[in-house]
Amino acid sequence: MPMRELAFQDQGSVHHCHGCGAANDKGLRLKSYWDGDEAVAKWQAEPHHCGGTRENLNGGIIASLIDCHSLNLAIARAYRAEQRPIGSPPRIGYVTGNLNISYIKPTPLHETIELRARVEKLEGRKVWVSCTLSAAGEVRARGEVLGVRVEWK
Amino acid sequence: MPMRELAFQDQGSVHHCHGCGAANDKGLRLKSYWDGDEAVAKWQAEPHHCGGTRENLNGGIIASLIDCHSLNLAIARAYRAEQRPIGSPPRIGYVTGNLNISYIKPTPLHETIELRARVEKLEGRKVWVSCTLSAAGEVRARGEVLGVRVEWK
């Protein structure tokens, strides 16, 4: 069995972010990986991540996961385009310009969440990423994320 | 000085929600209040709510706050229209159908966050709410939230 590559976040795409920073022990610690030209992630909620009912995942957490997963793909893609390892200097950062989430059906809290994102369009500093969030084999939410490349310190 | 009314969430608009449930001690515990026909809220982030840098608020947390504040206004408005106290049976619930957030400028983590939401349109079970998120006197993000009324158990 081949050794799995490190997640984007564990290679240094981001550090402290509440949604996906490996160094944030009170955050969601999402881990995103390449799957061809797309990015995939799996994530498991805890009971306090519930929404209006205790059985379903909170919509704000869904937005967080889609936002972080999509921007991590944008960052990873930019490093790949420059044929550099993720996190290598000079650092590449993206910030969210717009986040549009459609909630299709409730997301059960106790199922494993699966995210899949792909780059739809690139234009100068801007990138448009689409992302689905699935659980128990069904798409529960779809997101469109506009990311803007920034100089990162 | 008049006694301030209870927050929507403390009257029972929601209970366990990660974004605003009063009974969720690991959640954000947002508190929303009437200001005329609009809803207002103030909220203070903790250090682990940071985004790509430790100085700025995470975009997913911003989405959570806008989502919860907007749906709480939708719920409070529906009770008011029926001339009933918030949380009284039969319970009124709203779920998010679509959430669209524009991030205008970074939100400093250590400033008090201010939210202001208003109902833009009502049509059958649907409600459209607009919401601004401000800090240090400037609007940092704007949201448009489509809420759908549901039968709540």
Element (H, E) at B116: strand B113-123
Go through B12-46 and write b for each residue having 16 or more CB atoms within 10 A of its CB, e for each that does not: bbbbbbbbbbbebeebbbbbbbeeeeebbbebebe
Contact (CB<8Å) A52/B95: yes
pLDDT in tens, chain A (153 residues): 455 789 999 999 999 999 999 999 999 999 999 999 999 999 999 999 999 999 999 999 999 999 999 999 999 999 999 999 999 999 999 999 999 999 999 999 999 999 999 999 999 999 999 999 999 999 999 999 999 999 776
User: How far apart, in Å, are the Cα atoms of B16 and each of A56, B23, B50, B68?
Assistant: 11, 5, 23, 12
Measure the CA–CA gap between A47 and B138, rounded to whole angstroms: 35
Choose from B46, B99, B152, B153 for mutation: most chain A CBs within 10 A. B99
Q: The whole model's pTM is what?
A: 0.96
* β-bridge pairing B38-43 and A138-151: unpaired
Q: Do A99 and B99 touch (CB under 8 A)?
A: yes
Q: What is the pLDDT of residues B39-54, one digit of tens each?
A: 999 999 999 999 999 9
A5 CA to chain B: closest CA distance, Å?
Answer: 23
Q: What is the pLDDT of residue B3?
A: 56
Do B16 and A153 count as a contact with CB atoms less than 8 A apart?
no
**Contact (CB<8Å) A17/B100:** no
Q: Which residues in chain A are contacts of B18 at CB distance < 8 A?
A: 48-51, 58, 60-61
Query: Residues for chain A: how many in total?
Result: 153
Mean pLDDT over B121-139 rounds to 98
Q: Which residue has the higher pLDDT, B105 or A4?
A: B105
Give pLDDT, residue A153.
62
pLDDT of residue B128 exceeding 90: yes
Least confident of A12-16, A134-138, B105-109, B131-135: A12-16
d(CA B130, CA B115): 10
Min Cα–Cα distance to chain B from A81, Å = 21
- For B14-18, what is the mean pLDDT? 94
Closest residue in B to A147 (Cα–Cα): B103
Q: Could you tell me which residues are beta bridge partners of residue B32?
A: B41
Provide the pLDDT for residue B151: 79
Higher pLDDT, A153 or B93: B93
Interface-testing mutation among B53, B70, B105, B145, with chain A (most A C-beta atoms within 10 A):
B53
Q: Do A93 and B52 touch (CB under 8 A)?
A: yes
Alpha-carbon gap: B23 to the closest alpha carbon of chain A (Å): 10
State how far the alpha carbon of B100 is from the alpha carbons of A136, A144, B12, in Å: 26, 9, 26
Position B72 pLDDT exceeds 50: yes
Phi and psi, residue A75, nearest 5°: -65, -45
